Each structure stands twice: as C-alpha cells, then as structure tokens.
C-alpha cells in the first residue's frame, strides 16, 4: 500500500490597514475585492473615521464588524459615542445639557440608525493598536515628547500639528509657520506608524521617514472628498487604492 504524501504550502499572512472610509461603503467593498481579502485569514484593520460624510456610514461600520475587523477610535466615532452617552444622561436627568456640538439633521438621522451593539463595539476601540514589534496604528497622531504607551487619548485621536516642544498645536490655514511641524516628521520611533485623519492629498498616501528605519504612513486620501480610498498591506508595505465614485462632502482647506 502506498503512502500518502503531505505538502506544506506557505501562504503569506497579511495585515491590510485601510484609511479613513467615512461612509464610502461601495469604495470599501471594491478595495477589499481588489486586495482579495481572505476573511478569517488576513487581518483587516481600520485607522478610524468609519462614520460620517459619505453615503452609508452605518453600513461601513457594520461591514467592519461582520468581517471581524479591528480598528482604532477615530474622532468621528468618539463624537458619536460621547453624544450617545450624554443623550442617555439627558433622558435620566432633564436638567442635563448635552455639551457635545449638535449633529446636522442628516448626521443625527444616521446616528439614530446606530444600534446599541454598534455603539458598544465603538466603545471597545483602542486609541493605539500595536500590530507587531515594528508597526502600530493610530487615528490622528503622536506627540514626539512621549513614548507610544504614554500618549494622551485626546491627542492621539485628533493631533496633526506639533509645536517646537512637541505639544499639540492648532492646524493653521495655508503653509505651516516656523515653529510648527507635522507630527509625523518629528516622531522618533522606534515604532513605524500608520495613521489617518489628515488628508495630505487626494492621490496617494503620504510617507515620512523622520529617522532611518521609521516610517509614518498617512492613509487618508480623502475618499469622501472625491479622492481615493487607500490601504497599506503588510509585510510587503504595498499601497493599494481605489477612486471615489463621487465627492460626497466639501473639503475644508
């Protein structure tokens, strides 16, 4: 009787990190088809800001959930979470005023479509997600004054610009004046960082190398503004993107 031969086939396990989707469900589905996502095998990660601006934000969030994806908390998810918590407080205490800036009627209608399970999922999202010893994901940015573990929650979600001392600074219009810099040009590592939140351009992600061997990849290519939806595939460090079907929101400059 002959013996049965078994052959081990090496299949690369990939991590696919997707930039700010902002409700662009059709573009997300196209991107995942383009990268040939293997659910249950590939690791799918989002940089936050799944919600708002595009045509189907709740659909995007639920697609991420059904695919078992990981994500960091974006400032848009954070606002929906804070709004829901204060509204719940208002129901118990009519004297309580919700301090969160009100949503537009359209966004409020979208918010009300979020289920308790959707909000509970958002509440579990970390602000920093380590992928491995080399790479980590955040939504906004990192202060070069602090290690990855010592970052401040509000800064990680919203930071774009730092001053000469590494403190979070307001993002001015136009060119950056002396003394201000994009955080990704100052990050000392040792981790390389993938982030969203800041649309540097509508064509391709921005890659900075503040010190040799440390990369900071800004994946928000403004899909909701008519740009592209981009992903970084690790470990190959391949960037893949698809074009937006329309400009769903007006870009502030």
- Higher-scoring residue by pLDDT: 88, 22: 22
C-alpha span between 23 and 74 (Å, rounded): 13
Read off the DSSP letter of residue 32.
H
Read off the DSSP letter of residue 174.
S
C-alpha span between 158 and 85 (Å, rounded): 20
| Model confidence pLDDT, tens digit, residues 148-186 | 999 999 999 999 999 999 999 988 878 899 999 999 999
The whole-number pLDDT of residue 175 equals 86
Cα-flanking dihedrals φ and ψ of residue 28, to 5°? -65, -45
C-alpha span between 234 and 13 (Å, rounded): 9
How many CB atoms sit inside 10 A of residue 1's CB? 3
The whole-number pLDDT of residue 81 equals 98
Q: Specify whether the CB–CB gap between 50 and 64 falls below 8 A.
A: yes
| Model confidence pLDDT, tens digit, residues 192-242 | 999 999 999 999 999 999 999 999 999 999 999 999 999 999 999 999 999
Tokens representing 47?
Answer: 């940089």
Helix (H, G, I), strand (E, B) or coil at 9: coil
Q: Specify whether the CB–CB gap between 19 and 230 falls below 8 A.
A: yes
Residue 11 has pLDDT above 60, yes or no: no
Q: Which domains does the chain have, with CATH numbers?
A: 15-243 (3.60.21.10)
The whole-number pLDDT of residue 8 equals 41
Tokens representing 83?
Answer: 């709004």
Angle between helices 116-123 and 75-92 (to 10 degrees): 120
């Amino acid at each position: 009787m002959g013996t049965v031969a078994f052959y081990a086939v090496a299949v690369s396990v990939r991590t696919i990190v997707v930039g700010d989707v902002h409700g662009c469900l059709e573009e997300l589905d196209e991107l995942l088809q383009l990268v040939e996502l293997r659910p249950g095998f590939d690791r799918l990660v989002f940089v936050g800001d799944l919600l708002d601006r595009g045509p189907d934000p709740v659909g995007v969030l639920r697609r991420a959930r059904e695919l078992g994806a990981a994500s960091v908390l974006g400032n848009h998810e954070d606002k929906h979470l804070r709004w829901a918590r204060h509204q719940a407080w208002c129901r118990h205490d009519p004297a309580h005023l919700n301090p969160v800036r009100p949503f537009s009627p359209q966004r409020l209608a979208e918010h009300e479509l979020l289920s308790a399970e959707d909000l509970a999922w958002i509440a579990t999202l970390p602000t920093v997600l380590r992928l491995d010893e080399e790479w980590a994901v955040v939504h906004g940015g990192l202060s070069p004054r602090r290690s990855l573990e010592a970052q401040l929650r509000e800064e990680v979600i919203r930071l774009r610009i730092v001053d000469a001392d590494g403190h979070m600074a307001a993002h001015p219009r136009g060119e950056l004046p002396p003394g201000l810099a994009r955080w990704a040009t100052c990050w000392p590592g040792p981790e390389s960082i993938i982030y969203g939140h800041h649309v540097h351009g509508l064509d391709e992600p921005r890659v900075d190398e503040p010190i040799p061997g440390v990369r900071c990849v800004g994946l928000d290519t403004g899909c909701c503004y008519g740009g592209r939806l981009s992903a970084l595939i690790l470990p190959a460090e391949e960037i893949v993107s698809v074009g937006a079907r329309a400009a769903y929101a007006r870009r502030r400059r």
